[in-house]
Structure 1
Amino acid sequence: MSAIGVHFGYTCACVAIFKDGRADVVANDAGDRVTPAVVGFRDTEQIVGLAAKQGRIRNAANTVVKVKQMLGRRFDDPETKAHQTETKCQVVSKDGKPYYEITVGQQPQHVAPEDVAKLIFSKMRETAQSALGSDTSEAVITVPFEFAHAQRRALREAAEAAGFRVLRMIHEPAAALLAYDVGQDSSSGKSHVLVYKLGGTSLSVTVLQINGGIFRVLSTKTDHGIGGESLTQALAQHLASEFKRVYKHDVSSNARAMLKLMISADMTKHSLSSLGSANCFVDSLHDGIDFECNVSRARFELLCSSLFNKSIQPIRSVLAEAGLSTSDINKVALCGGSARIPRLQQLIREMFPDVELLNSAPPDEVIAVGAALEAGLLVGREGLAPEEESVTVDVSAADILLKEVDEAGAETFTLLLPSGTPLPARRHHSLPADGQLSSLCLEIYQRFSSERPDLLSKMILRELQPMQDNRCIDAVVTMKRDGSLHVSCVDRSTGRSEAVTIAAAATSSTLLTRSKQKATDVLSEDPRSFMTPFQAPPILKYQRKRGEGEAAGEGQDLTMIGVVIHV
């Protein structure tokens, strides 16, 4: 019995296979265990991986990088605008969605980000199936915490279009902890674990509480302003300065020369994680001049010292948000390619001197390994004993808010259903309003974590009769187990009412009990879900082991066992 785990990152992708009870990362046809998430388009072919990354020097306009940033987004999304400033490949709008404009042959082609992701997933599937020697397609895909429903669905659809049968999508921190077998012993008692991930373009820090095999996310923070590319950029600027010092030519404004230096600096950075010094060589950097420079690890650490300090600052803010100190953390897990850097590991060790640092597995591979372990569990589910079955409790994954505007025009958000509310749930809220108003607009929002609230729906009470005193509007919000949201409002004085129902979108679930007491924080999506003009907030499913003599059934009262997952 075999299965596949895939970690699709912003800059790289990694695939692991589960076979004969163990999970291992497999190398691609170039012998690399991690594949650059880069796709180059040429007249008759699409190139994925290192060859596309290296060919970007000559084919930048037709080479797509960081496609994960574009998945499931609209053209006017701020992330799309940010991506446009970072890529040489033209991004155009088509029906309000972003497309890459690829010029091959006589006519330009418009390629959707999901189609680019499909090519990368196809490469991962071919790599895994070649190692397995079979056409196994069952896979678990990892997803960042900050991904909204649209991004998760786009990632899933790209994987399925590439031939994968997606069993589940799980959070990246949970996958990393699975790889290290953290929290799988339900008798180990309560502990706190910090997952530190420094990838190519982003930094994420997550604090989890583990108790009896249950993962509870206490706090998480993602910063897209720093990543491994920030370190590479600092080294490339140093190399440009060295070239100017020796050859009296400034290449800092030469896009092609700087791209060459970035590629060389990236390889040098990787070498310095295991060597004390590394040689950087660039063929024909400028005016036919070959450039060679030796960089020591000490020099690299000095160049990036401010970036290293910036990289560990979020740890303290996440701990403060969780109400913990460094002494409360029992383990720190490292993941992401840039977490290999010795100086960064040293700074984290200094912050947590008495804590076990989990870094024995390559940080850029550990998430894929955890995904493969989860996939192996899911494909073997048929063999679960009856006592290992689970029952579920649905809860809201997002805050549900009502926006009110006072006479001065100031906006106030009232929290009606906080994330983690067991479903079904019903909330009543009274709103005072001016008696002279002839109409009243109510807006319902959802909010994930500390993000800006997103509008779900609005309703308008029209033709209100003027009255001397202030009027009172009663709003009732009801969320069902399937995630559908029903909102009604009534003018108490006249009885005039309006109502709106926001149909359920895809649900997400958190698995709390599994074979042999194992547990992981998981996001899954129902492929039968549908979209409506106003998308209902997704829900989380909490599962726990059924006690002795407890009958199956969804409608029974269940005792929540300290399960509050922060999404």
Structure 2
Amino acid sequence: MAAIGVHLGATCACAAVYKDGRADVVANDAGDRVTPAVVAFTENEEVVGLAAKQSRIRNVSNTVVKVKQILGRSSGDPQAEKYIKESKCLVVEKNGKLQYEIDNKLISPEDVAKLIFSKMKETAQSALGSDVNDVVITVPFDFGENQKNALGEAAAAAGFNVMRLIHEPSAALLAYGIGQDSPTGKSNVLVYKLGGTSLSITVIEVNSGIYRVLATDTDDGIGGVYFTEALAQHLASEFQRSCKHDIRGNPRAMMKLMNSADVAKHSLSTLGSANCFVDSLYDGLDFDCNVSRARFELICSSLFSKCVEAIKKLLEQVGFTAEDINKVVLCGGSARIPKLQQLIKDIFPNVELLSSIPPDEVIPIGAAIEAGILLGKENPSLEEAALFIECSAKDILLKGVDETGADKFTVLFPSGTPLPARRQHTLHAPGSTSSVCLELYESLGKSPMNEENKFAQCTFTASKRLVADTDRMFEGNFFLSTLVLPQGLGGQSREVVQSCSRI
């Protein structure tokens, strides 16, 4: 019996197959184990993968990239609006749904994802030598229900039998057998995923085969593409220095440099230097430049700092120190960078850093292992053999004021708090005050708080007790409820689900 695990990222896709008790990533028809998640539309065909990425320079308006960022989203969504603004391919709204307009034809993001899944299915079936359709698909923790549904429907439209969707950090733990080989005992694992467009860090408690998410954070302001852009800007400066032409305002020339910088970035993960050559970069001039690993690390020093500061911030949020983490799992293509791995080792000098599996292959291998587990079940379902413990997906903050009268936000329910939950909060107010209105807000990371973040509004009346004869004390219990998000993890381990609803 065989099954498939597929990870569709923002920039790349990867498929692994499970057969004879073993999960392995399979190479596509170009011999690459990772396939660019790029789809190019021409007059006669749709091209997926490396060929589509390479032809984007000549066909930019008809080439779709990063479809995962818009899949299942609607207009008005901040992430969707950001994507539409940056996309070189026209995105329009039709009948309430976002679609690509290509050669006067409307193509939905689901149809684009379907083509990528079809490529993955073809790659896996070619390696297996049989028509195997059972698959497990991975999803990020910050995916909403609409996004999960859209991803599952796209995979089903490609001919897959989707047995389950599992979260990416859980798949990473499965790839290394964490909580499987030794299901007893308690440990804390940090999953560090640096993908093409975002950085996701998750702290998971593994206890008797149960995965419990203690904290998770995603930063869309850092990812592999930002390293590529920084290197491309350096190459543009070198071209200007040697050829006296500033090409930063030339989209075609910069796209050529981005492609060259991307290849060089990957080479520098294994080599001490890389050569960047671009034929006819601008005005018939060729460009040839050698970049050392040390130079690359210097160029991207600020990005590396952001990558490690995010770890410290999350540990502080959950109240941990580096000594509280037992293992660190690296995943995502950009986690291959040696400098980044060294910086993470410096934070966790006494912690096992798991990187023996190539980071860009960890998640699909975990998905394939989960698919293998499900093969042994007669009727696998989302509910079977899964334990659902609802947790707050984000920090819930209480709005107050400081000594200067400025707004002050206090964390009342940290992200990962098992729900329903109760907190008691005491505050002081002038004696003339008979009631007070408290406001709760959802944390959106670095974004400032505004009315759109308001989670709930509670009104309380004063108790009879007086404080220092001038202040009144208000006491109230806060309750938080949730909607159950049925997203389980089968097999021996079970996944704790994060979900949150408004009250």
User: TM class, shorter-chain normalised?
Assistant: 0.7 to 0.9
Aligned partners of 1:13 and 1:36 also within 8 Å: yes
Question: Deviation at 1:216?
Answer: 1.1
Aligned-residue sequence identity (percent) comes to 60
SS at 2:360 equivalent: coil
Could you tell me which residue of structure 1 aligns to residue 486 of structure 2?
508
- 1:445-480 CA-to-partner distances (Å, cap 9, x unmatched) read 99999998789999xxxxxxxxxxxxxxxxxx9989
Letter in 2 for 1:170: I
1:314 to 310, 315, 324: 310
Q: Does 1:109 align with 2:77?
A: no
The reply to whether residue 237 of structure 1 matches residue 233 of structure 2 is: yes
Superposed displacement of residue 125, structure 1:
0.7
Which deviates the most, 81-90 or 30-39? 81-90
Distance in 1 (CA, whole Å) between partners of 2:411 and 2:497 is: 27
Partners of 1:173 and 1:392 lie apart in 2 by: 17
Q: Which residue of 2 aligns with 1:132?
A: 128
Corresponding letter in the other structure for 2:243: Y
Asked if structure 2 preserves the Cα contact closer than 8 Å seen for 1:184 and 1:213, the reply is: yes
Unaligned runs of 5+ in 2: 400-406, 423-438, 458-478
Does the C-alpha gap of structure 1 residues 398 and 227 become closer, same or farther in structure 2, counting only changes over 3 Å? closer
- Output aligned runs, 1:340-359, within 5 Å: 340-359=336-355
The 3-state SS of whatever aligns with 2:166 is strand
Q: For residue 5 of structure 2, give the secondary structure of its aligned residue in structure 1.
A: strand
Aligned to 1:175: 171
Q: CA deviation at 1:97?
A: 2.1
Q: Does 1:300 align with 2:296?
A: yes
Per the alignment, residue 20 of structure 1 pairs with: 20
Partner of 2:227, secondary structure, is helix
Q: Distance in 2 between the 1:382 and 1:78 partners?
A: 42
Instruction: Please report how far the alpha carbon of residue 287 of structure 1 lies from its aligned counterpart in structure 2 after TM superposition.
Output: 0.9
Larger Rg: 1
Q: How many pairs does the alignment contain?
A: 463
- The one-letter code sitting in structure 2 at the alignment partner of 1:195 is V
In 2, the alpha carbon distance for the partners of 1:394 and 1:303 equals 44
Q: Kindly tell me: are residues 455 and 292 of structure 1, through their superposed partners in 2, closer, same or farther at Cα, counting changes over 3 Å?
A: same
In structure 2, the residue matched to 1:193 is: 189
- Note the C-alpha offset of 1:419: 7.4
Unpaired stretches in structure 1, ≥5 consecutive residues: 405-409, 427-442, 459-476, 484-505, 525-534, 539-567
Alignment partner, residue 75 of structure 1: 75
- Structure-to-structure mapping, 1:325-474, within 5 angstroms: 325-382=321-378, 390=385, 395=390
Q: Which amino acid aligns with 1:196?
A: Y
| Residues 99 and 390 of structure 1: CA distance in aligned 2, closer, same or farther (over 3 Å) | closer
Is residue 521 of structure 1 aligned with residue 495 of structure 2?
A: yes
Q: Distance in 1 between matches of 2:222 and 2:191?
A: 17
Runs of 4+ in 1 over 3 A off after TM superposition: 185-188, 389-401, 412-416, 418-423, 443-458, 477-480, 535-538
Q: Structure 2 CA distance, aligned partners of 1:303 and 1:422?
A: 45
Distance 1:310 1:419, change over 3 A: closer
1:63 equivalent in structure 2 = 63
Quick one: structure 1 residues 5 and 187, their matched pair in 2 at CA, closer, same or farther if it must change by over 3 Å? Answer: closer
State the Cα distance separating 1:213 from its structure 2 match: 1.2
SS of the equivalent of 1:181 reads coil
What is the alpha-carbon root mean square deviation over aligned residues? 3.8
2:213 match: 217
Q: 1:53 to 1:326 in 2, by over 3 A?
A: same
Q: 1:324-354: per-residue Cα shift (whole Å, max 9, x none)?
A: 0011111111000000000111111111111
Residue 29 of structure 1 corresponds to: 29
Aligned mates of 1:305, 1:138 — CA distance in 2: 43
CA distance in 2 between partners of 1:55 and 1:395 (Å): 46
Partner SS, residue 378 of structure 2: helix
Q: CA deviation at 1:183?
A: 1.8
Distance 2:295 2:442 in 1: 47
Q: Partner amino acid for 2:46?
A: Q
Give 1:204 deviation, angstroms: 0.8
User: Is contact 1:193-1:331 (8 Å) kept?
Assistant: yes
| 2: CA distance, partners of 1:83 / 1:184 | 39
